Amino acid sequence: MGARADVTLRFSPYVEWMRMDWGTLEETLTAADGPMDDETAERAVRAAELVAATAGEPTDELSAEDHEWAETHGVPPDELVELACRSMKRLAAQSDDWHARLNDLRFRLGDVAAA
The total of structural domains in the chain comes to 1
Q: Are 56 and 113 in contact (CB under 8 A)?
A: no
Residues 71-114 have pLDDT tens digits of 998 899 999 999 999 999 999 998 888 888 899 999 999 888 87
Q: Are 100 and 68 in contact (CB under 8 A)?
A: no
Q: Are 12 and 27 in contact (CB under 8 A)?
A: no
Structural domain including 67 reads: 2-114
Q: What is the pTM of this model?
A: 0.81
Q: Euclidean distance between the first and final Cα of the chain, in Å?
A: 51
